Amino acid sequence: MNSTIRIGVIGLGIGSGHAQRFAALPGCEVVAIADTNPVRLEERGEKISGAARYTDPMKMLREVALDAVVVATPNKFHAPLTLAALRKNCHVFCEKPMAMNVAQAQAMKTAAVNARRRLMINFSYRFMPMSVALKRQVDAGVVGHIYFGRTVWHRQRGMPGFGGWFGNKELAGGGPLIDLGVHRIDLALWLMGHPEPVSIMGSTYNKIAGRIAREQNKHFSVEDLAGGLVKFRNGATLIVEASWALNIGEPEHMMTTLYGDKGSITQRNVGGGYQFQAELLTEENGCLFHKTLANPNFTVPSAYEEFIAAIRENREPSAGADDGIRVQKILDGLYRSAAKGREVRFR
């Protein structure tokens, strides 16, 4: 596909940033935007010149000839809007989480395969140069077989849009696990080479955010902390933790550490914010060396560039539908295990 790729963007929270990033790519044009909130549509639309504006995304899909659609709405609408866009033969760049549950995610994949269109999930953290630098170490065998790991995103107090859709189970499907945990789970699975999960034991809590919501008379029907232990067919174990409200010492704590039989890798935030560092520990000649990655001297394609390249090259993108389903399986499994109070096994 060499011609201009005509893009429509649905949902103008983070989606307005996506629209600007796609519009800046060569051979891409954002020709339409949709948001059910007319005020937001007006405000954000000012930054996306020339795009037709719709308060009804279905009307946009009916009226505008599009090659690709960005879905960046509350989680509940990811599956129905992706399916609607695929029915119009559009490629889809869908925000994380892929869907509310595995059944929806699988239906999205089937629709993409049948339509012969690309479906990518915005697992943006794997597109950081530092993540790629760590992946190169794993792929080169530097850390050996990864058999244990921990992947974490905790916030001291950080409920997004407190009282809004993120904390509403009906619209979000879950709390910090489905919101933040997805990124850390995807990063860990991708670095581990996507081993097959066989079982999970999980717990969810709502000890802090629920209390604050009651005090402030706000709606909050999801967990504020989720944790679980995933076992894989290759013998590996991964601990997953995600919270929006936890009594920790820093505002934000993100870390993925994977231990192999020859070394380990870690990606973590520093200073409680969104600056990251990557570390490698290896055993050489009987000595343990602990190295920190200097600024990577290479660039990697952004998620936006990867999506467009996959369309033009007619190939599966990185973070495609299968990877979305893999993450969704762990989310569903952890929530199911927490609800049942026992381990659940994957079929």
Ligand X SMILES: NC(=O)c1ccc[n+]([C@@H]2O[C@H](COP(=O)([O-])OP(=O)(O)OC[C@H]3O[C@@H](n4cnc5c(N)ncnc54)[C@H](O)[C@@H]3O)[C@@H](O)[C@H]2O)c1
Q: Which positions lie near ligand X, rule CB under 6 A?
A: 10-15, 34-37, 40, 57, 72-75, 77, 95-96, 122, 124, 179
Q: CB–CB of 15/70 below 8 Å? A: yes
Nearer to ligand X, 58 or 281 (CB): 58
Residue closer to ligand X (CB basis): 82 or 257: 82
Q: Which is nearer to ligand X, 96 or 117 (CB)?
A: 96
Nearer to ligand X, 119 or 236 (CB): 119
Minimum CB separation of residue 16 from ligand X in Å reads 8
Shortest distance (Å) from residue 198 CB to ligand X: 28
Measured from the CB of residue 81, what is the shortest distance to ligand X in angstroms?
Answer: 7
Collapsing DSSP to helix, strand or coil, 115 comes out as helix
Beta bridge partner(s), residue 239:
150, 229
Least distance (Å) between residue 201 CB and ligand X: 25
Of 122 and 266, which has the nearer Cβ to ligand X?
122
Q: From CA 339, how far away is CA 204, in angstroms rounded?
A: 8
Query: Min. distance of Cβ 7 from ligand X in angstroms?
Result: 15
Q: Which DSSP category does 238 fall into?
A: E
- Distance, in Å, from the CA atom of 337 to the CA atom of 287, rounded to the nearest integer, reads 41
- Residue closer to ligand X, measured from CB, 122 or 168: 122
The answer to whether residues 323 and 330 touch, using CB atoms and an 8 Å cutoff, is: no
Measured torsion, CA atoms of residues 96, 97, 98, 101, in degrees rounded to the nearest 10? 180
Percentages helix, strand, coil for the chain (3-state, rounded to 5) are 35, 30, 35
In the DSSP assignment, the letter for residue 135 is: H
CA separation for the pair 267, 233 (Å, rounded):
24
- Rounded to a whole number of angstroms, the minimum distance from the CB of residue 228 to ligand X is 20
